[in-house]
Amino acid sequence: MTLSTRRQAKRAARRAARRALPRWRRLLPTWRITLGALIAALLIAVGAFAVLYVIVPVPDANAHAVAQNNIYLYADGTTEIARTGAVNRTDVTIDQIPAQTQHAVVSAEDRTFYQNRGIDLKGMLRAGWNTLLGKGMQGGSTITQQYVKNYYLTQDQTIERKGRELFIALKVDQQRDKKDILAGYLNSSYFGRGAYGIQSAAHAYYGEDVSALSVAQGAYLAALLQAPSSYDVKTATPANREKAVARWNYTLDGMVQLGFLTPAERAATTFPELLDPQPATGLSGQAGYLVGVADDYLVSAGIIDAATLKAGGWRITTTFDKPRQEAFVKAVQDELTGELDPRARPATDTDVRVAGASVEPATGRVVAVYGGPDYAKQPFNDALRQDNQIGSTFKPIDLAAGLIAQHTLDGRPITTESRYDGASERPVTGGPTPYAPPNEDDVDYGNITLRYAMVKSVNSVYAQEGVDAGLARVRDTAIKLGIPDSVRGMDPANTSMTLGTATPSALDLAGAYATLANHGDATAPWSVQKLERVHSGGAVDIPKMPDHTPVTAIGRGFADAVTDVLRDVVSPRGTGAAALDLGRPAAGKTGTTDSNLSAWFAGYTPELATTVGLFRENPKTHAKEPLAGTAGLTRINGGTFPTRIWTAYMTAALQGTPTQQFDLQTDHDAPAPDLTPNSSTTPTGTGSATTAPATAAATPGTTPSATTPAHDTPTHAPSAPAPTGGDPAPGPTPTSPAAPSPPAPQPTPTQDQPSPAPKPTQTRPTRPTDPPTATAPAPATKPATSATPPPQ
């Protein structure tokens, strides 16, 4: 039998044997077929890989790798504010980078770097497996792949980009030395603080050249590569600070494991000291503050992420009006800075700071902010900070909540003319915590209307009215008007919330008052109107900007009723009398906090809502210090420098524009405002609203007796110590060398002036055992200060 015949016989036998198998078994391929298929698939894969390797080129450097500016423009679209962005880069050679810093980066980012061929299949498979197991998205990229992504490609998370990255990484590894690849990676990576490349990072975090980095410093910069902004221990949250330190330890432990560091050297290494974040060059004057507000808006609104913004190349047209911005700066200089004398009064006239913001009520456009005197000298934006209590500027929110409720929790009506007991230190009834706030200079006002209590900023009245409205409703009203729900001091579990323990920023507060000015329709403040980026190839990125459609926060009748009352604050009898110099219809409220730690004026015309806050802060500890004694005044109330700055700014900002009147629709036929304390009526002691609004007439705007001291009126400091700050506030007495104001005279009562009689002895009412019916979950954050805050 020939060889051919024998093969044919074997094949026939195999076919016969297979036909004899059950049907299900015959459907399975033989080992020969399986092996052949696998070999064919492997050959196809190898061929495809080879073809792709050949056809995928190493491209030119991408736009992110070529430093670009971000250009910020004023609202006119042509006047430049500043240039910032990814231009903070200085390339260095690998020889300039200490070997231990190189080793730290390898330990942190790719421990197989010196052995792998540009990719790490084992690491990629491990990362994929961990992702499938639900351990979160895992990264398996080598340093070469990350360099390719930074320098040649984009940050897009797509399969196509990842595939190109793999092939280019293989080519780059073949074509370039490992030292060149590592240098390219370190020069192109982002380290936070606007620093691209390790040289810029060394200056940003340590103020020195990269060649001078220690082991500890290099390890920290290597740790930053995983999360540049989150791991900056000077600005990170406590949780992220712990993660940053853990990543630093992981890097050092890896250096020991790889033989780059001895255990003894590792044990002797301590966490390095970092510089505070420094202002970027070119952001001096007001530019840095404006850029900060614009960046904060872009990122917080979700228009663009921080990394993409920092990559540069964007042309950003803001809403800031250059003449108004300059007017704000001039107002602060003219009305405050010129009055300070740090040499003569170093204990009180240093470290005085101003926070300000100005918003168009109808549109929500931020037209000007004041974040500090010079970003190059003070790189902290006071216009955005949320750590100063706003005091009595919160009282209009109490009033709005009461008008919305219409009745107290036990059924009595609340209107702007409802009467309350204005006795100083009268205990609040029905509140969740005991509270008996004093009025400024401990004046007893007798039985007065809510309108008059706002005009004189009577603490005892609005502490009670807020509780009567329902603290949960007060908090909800504040949030609807525009106060962020995350700020401290808005806990309905604390009765003192009614007098302004909340700590919104100047911009937040301007937005809330803009809502009142816009008849209850709210538009969140916004500061960027256009954003675009042109690529080198001609393509243009234009992210979609949010719509700014007003949303009804509170009814027009309620908002207009509050405005009607706040107009009386800006009157000869009111604490905001200094704003009369504006010469236009205006409404507003002063505020001074406990221990005179801050002073405010928040006000508006139909065209513009503006807030001005004043405070002192220790530059080293950042602790708040009393304003008492500043510029030689006993105390600094909201009616002094804040109102003067507000008036000077608004005068310039509105110059040349037609005067507009308030178009108020209060939705009720209220009697003429009665600003007269009812001296013949014995206060009930409860402080709750009476069963009917007052009916006695009074003419708004009547000038009070010349002998009557107005709240928020400064007096020059005598030698005696001072009481708590104006727009009074309960709480501890300031320790500054300020002195009390002269005692209030006792004029004959008129419709405009309460009778500040000596405090009568009265039985303090007890709190009801049942809590208020309106409750709300308390915010996670407690008030920053004691439960008895400030205000007027």
What's the gap between Cα 95 and its chain centre? Answer: 42
Give which of 574, 630, 637 is closest to 790, Cα–Cα: 637
CB 460 within 8 A of CB 448: no
Residue 764: both structure tokens together: 């303090």
Tokens of 442: 């401990």
- Which of 260, 231, 309 lies closest to 105, judged by CA? 260
In the set 392, 505, 527, 598, the catalytic residue is: 392
Q: Enumerate the β-bridge partners of residue 625.
A: 616
The reply to whether 392 belongs to the active site is yes
Name the burial class of residue 154, with classes exposed (0-12), middle (13-18) and buried (19+) by CB atoms within 10 angstroms of its CB.
middle
**What does the block give as tokens for 151?**
């320098």
**Pairing mode, if any, of strands 69-73 and 314-318?**
parallel
Whole-angstrom Cα distance, residue 65 to residue 154?
10
246: tokens are 């853990």
In angstroms, rounded to a whole number, what is the distance separating the alpha carbons of residues 435 and 461?
12
Of the residues 109, 165, 417, 440, only one is catalytic, namely 109
385: tokens are 């900070």
Identity of the amino acid at 105 = V
- How far is it, in rounded angstroms, from Cα 415 to Cα 674? 12
Q: Are 580 and 426 in contact (CB under 8 A)?
A: no
Nearest to 312 by CA among 75, 158, 82, 77: 82
At a CB cut-off of 8 Å and minimum separation 6, what does 196 contact? 67, 86, 88, 89, 188, 189, 190
Half-sphere exposure for 70 (CA within 13 Å, toward CB): 28
Going by C-alpha positions, the residue among 552, 646, 558 that lies closest to residue 608 is 646
- Three-class DSSP category at 334: helix
Helical (H) or strand (E) element with 7:
helix 3-19
Classify residue 448 by its DSSP letter: E
Query: How many whole angstroms separate alpha carbon 433 and alpha carbon 412?
Result: 22
Burial bucket for residue 696 (CB in 10 Å: 0-12, 13-18, 19+): middle
Beta carbons of 725 and 592 less than 8 angstroms apart: yes
Give the helix/strand (H/E) hosting 351.
Answer: none
Which residues touch 745 (CB under 8 Å, ≥6 apart)? 707, 708, 709
What whole-number distance in Å separates Cα of residue 240 and Cα of residue 236? 6
- Compute how many other C-beta atoms are within 10 angstroms of the C-beta atom of residue 130: 15
The count of residues in the chain is: 792
Is residue 497 classed exposed, middle or buried when 0-12, 13-18 and 19+ CB atoms within 10 A define those classes? buried
Q: Does 109 participate in catalysis according to the annotation? A: yes
Indicate which residues carry an active-site annotation. 109, 392
